[in-house]
Amino acid sequence: MLGYLLKRLFFMAPMLLGITLISFVVIHLTPGEPGVMEMEMNPKVTKEVRERIRAFYGLDKPLHVQYWVWLKRIVKLDFGISFAQDRRPVMDKIKERLPITVFINLASMVLIFLIGIPIGIYCAQYKDSLTDKILTSFVFAGYAAPTFWLALLLMMFLGVYLELLPISGLKSFNYAELLFPEKLIDLAQHLILPVGISAFGGLAGISRYMKGSLLEVLRQEYITTARAKGLPERIVLRRHALRNALLPVITILGLSVPGLIGGSVIFESIFSIPGMGQLFYMSVMSRDYPTIMGILVIGAFLTLIGNLLADVMYGLADPRIRVG
């Protein structure tokens, strides 16, 4: 097991290097340059000023030199200084936005699993029943409805019309003056819509997985055997079917690790949540290379780790495919 782990970790290095190289080249291929982007078509910006700013960012050097400089820094885990006009360390910018994104993603993932798995089980157990169809339509409606549309409708209804929930942001304007429990309530109120809506969109996937894999298991001969020996349906389902059916779901859990740091731009913009999605979008729009690369490296790393984690967990849960 340990050997296997080491081997996998060892092979991750060249993969990560390849990912960064390709990303670096692709980003630099897009038209537009950092710092200069905001100054495009601005009469106050003379050509000399422009050249000066290019030199400041090191953009006057050839691409491979720029990559080498970047690589030398990144192996020391130094993500560099952002090219955006705030000139802050990339790490600070990411650190500032990571917690809220991870929190919303975790909360909605928990919600998705808590609701999606029972729905999946129910739908498999009572396949083709009316409730199955209603639930299926429900989860697919959540999957199909554009998030921004649903979000705006609910914001309008619950926020403007009923004045029950705040519309956007994370904290009320007087947050600093609130007592601690009030702060919690305030935060929670602000989070209901974003978490709820993002969970609604994710229900379909997990409940379908659950349903599919449970149906698959229910067709197995050992289930027939279990039923034949007279076990109550409850026991058959819980002890024999569900355990095996949950295996693929574990894989999904592992694979959703990189998703934890990703945020949707549209979603975050609408709720004005300062999360990773917006950071990434803004840095792409302003060609803020160090920030883009920083987020990509973290994302790539988490993806690879997530894959590994999924494999390892799968092996732990299912002795049949244990390796090494």
Interface residues with another protein (CB under 8 A) are: 30-32, 35, 37-50, 52-53, 56, 84-87, 96-97, 126-132, 152, 155-156, 159-164, 166-171, 173-174, 176-177, 268-275, 278, 287
Q: Residue 191 class from Cβ within 10 Å (0-12 exposed, 13-18 middle, 19+ buried)?
A: buried
CB of 199 vs another protein, minimal distance in Å: 19
Helix axes 180-218, 130-144, angle to 10 degrees: 120
Rounded CA separation 122/297 (Å): 40
Q: Which residues pair with 89 in a beta bridge?
A: 81
Select 145 or 252, whichever has its Cβ closest to another protein: 145
CB of 38 vs another protein, minimal distance in Å: 4
Select 193 or 249, whichever has its Cβ closest to another protein: 193
Select 2 or 177, whichever has its Cβ closest to another protein: 177
CB of 160 vs another protein, minimal distance in Å: 5
Q: At a CB cut-off of 8 Å and minimum separation 6, what does 231 contact?
A: 240
Select 224 or 272, whichever has its Cβ closest to another protein: 272
Q: What is the DSSP string of 141-195?
A: HHHHS-HHHHHHHHIIIIIIIS--S--SSSS-TTGGGS-HHHHHHHHHHHHHHHH
CB of 136 vs another protein, minimal distance in Å: 13
CB of 262 vs another protein, minimal distance in Å: 16
Select 113 or 288, whichever has its Cβ closest to another protein: 288
Residue type for position 245:
A
DSSP state for residue 89 in the 8-state scheme: B
CB of 283 vs another protein, minimal distance in Å: 12
Rounded CA separation 12/146 (Å): 36
Select 2 or 160, whichever has its Cβ closest to another protein: 160
